[in-house]
Homo-oligomer: A and B are copies of this chain.
Amino acid sequence: MTTNAPSAPSWGPPYLLYLGDAHDDLAIKTARGLAVWRPQWCLGQFRGPACKSSLDLPDLSFAAAREAGANTMVVGIANAGGVMAPQTVRDVVAAIEAGLNIASGLHQRLDAHPAIAEAAARTGRVLFDARRFPHDIPVGKGLRRSGRRLLTVGTDCSVGKMYTTLALEHELRKRGISADFRATGQTGILIAGSGVPIDALIADFISGGAEWVSPARHDGGWDLIEGQGSLFHPSYAGVSLGLLHGSQPDALVLCHEPQRPHMRGLPHYAVPDLKTCLETNLQSARLTQPDVIPVGIALNTSKLTVKAAADACKAAEDALGLPCQDPVTMGVGRIVDKLFSCFAS
Contacts and interface: CB of A to CB of B under 8 A. Distances in A.
Nearest to A229: B204
Nearest to A266: B142
B207 A237 contact: yes
A142 to B, nearest CB: 3
Nearest to A246: B234
Contact of A288 (B139, B205, B234, B284): B234
Contacts of A206: 203, 238-239
Which secondary structure dominates where chain A touches chain B?
helix
Contact of A142 (B140, B201, B242, B269): B269
B287 A204 contact: no
A276 to B, nearest CB: 10
B287 A237 contact: yes
A141 B242 contact: no
A258 interface: no
Contact of A203 (B242, B266, B268, B269): B242
B204 A236 contact: yes
B208 A204 contact: no
Contact of A245 (B202, B205, B234, B288): B234
A181 B166 CA distance: 46
Q: Which of A198, A208, A242, A283 has the most CB of B within 10 A?
A: A242
Contacts of A143: 268
A199 B288 CA distance: 21
Contacts of A205: 203
Given A206-B238, A238-B245, 16 more contacts: A139-B235, A139-B236, A140-B235, A142-B234, A202-B203, A203-B205, A203-B238, A203-B239, A206-B239, A207-B238, A231-B241, A234-B288, A237-B245, A237-B287, A238-B239, A238-B240
Most buried by B among A201, A246, A268, A287: A287
Interface string A263-277: 000101100000000
A135 to B, nearest CB: 14
Nearest to A263: B142
Contacts of A266: 141-142
Contacts of A240: 238
A239 to B, nearest CB: 5
A143 B234 CA distance: 9
8 contacts: A140-B235, A200-B204, A203-B242, A204-B235, A204-B239, A237-B245, A238-B238, A238-B242
